[in-house]
Amino acid sequence: MPRKIISISNQKGGVGKTTTAINLGASLALLGKQTLIIDLDPQANATTGLGVDPSTLSSHIYHVMLGEAALASIVLPTKVGGLFLAPSHTDLVATDVELMDASMRDRIMAKALVSLDAHYDYILVDCPPSLGLLTLNALTSSHSLLIPVQCEYYALEGLKSLLNTFQLVKKRLNPSLSIEGFLLTMFDARTRLSHEVAGNMRDHFDSQVFQTVIPRNTRLCEAPSYGLPICLYDISSKGAQHYLMLAKEIVSREVIHEVKATSR
Ligand SMILES: Nc1ncnc2c1ncn2[C@@H]1O[C@H](COP(=O)(O)OP(=O)(O)OP(=O)(O)O)[C@@H](O)[C@H]1O
Ligand SMILES: [Mg+2]
């Protein structure tokens, strides 16, 4: 199977991007898919959430963005077999300024990925909560965009600028970029609001909304402080089960696409 690069982005903060990157990544690895998580957020939450202390690293994604290190050279194994991490660091916050005058500054990540071995089945890019240069780099280098949407008021309004950016990148920088799906996160079945937001999203975006919905689950908040994905922290939790379902949904779509492509 060709490798697939998925950006996980939403400029709104705290909607579940990093939780999704870590736990979808770990679930894909459990399904036997070689998976790389690229932490492209200066907050480095995916890095610490996978048990890596950024202050101990001599090179990380910032050096890749500056052209000082190859992407492959910074990749680390994780506690999950088949899951790898390209770690981040707060230094990454300087990228915007440092690359102000660089040519093709929105294609740096795309170039870095070209030189990476093709042995990964999936690459997930955890984006920061902004639509700046880092997110542009992620979208320019990806096949698709996965958008976590928290089940709360104004969820839909918040998507406007992200979808504008998606269209702009598609038109100018990466014509083959597609929407992998909208993922409803922190769904609380007891509240009417959660059901309303889910209903609105399905009315607007129809089958682009993943069938799998991620429930609000405290085990998902606890796992990062142990540096573990949910499947190693509490595999029986609802959070673990639903991220595994999401991974299966994504993999099975891939199979359907391949069957369609070969039968054409
Ligand atoms: N399904 C869930 N159930 C309960 N808590 C969750 C769930 N998903 C995420 N959280 C919690 O919500 C907070 C925000 O999640 P997360 O860090 O994944 O969001 P984010 O979009 O990456 O944030 P940022 O925009 O700052 O990068 C975290 O404390 C996380 O543990
Ligand atoms: Mg995050």
The DSSP call for residue 36 is E
Tens digits of residue pLDDT in 91-145: 999 998 888 888 889 999 999 998 887 789 999 999 999 999 999 999 999 999 9
Instruction: State in Å: Cα 128 to ligand 2 middle.
Output: 6
Q: At what angle do helices 17-30 and 238-263 cross, to 10 degrees?
A: 70
CA separation for the pair 251, 254 (Å, rounded): 5
- DSSP structure class, residue 129: S
Average predicted confidence (pLDDT) for the chain: 94
Q: What is the mean pLDDT of residues 60-79?
A: 96
Q: Are 52 and 86 in contact (CB under 8 A)?
A: no
Residue 264: pLDDT band with limits 50, 70, 90 = low
Mutate to test the pocket of ligand 1, among 18, 19, 88, 246 (most ligand atoms within 8 A of CB): 19
Task: Give residue limits of the domains in the chain.
Answer: 4-263
Which residue puts its alpha carbon closest to atom 31 of ligand 1? Answer: 221
Nearest to 77 by CA among 32, 109, 29, 6: 29
User: Where does 114-225 show beta strands of DSSP type E?
Assistant: 122-126, 144-150, 178-185
Residue 68: DSSP 8-state = S
CATH class of the domain at 4-263: alpha beta
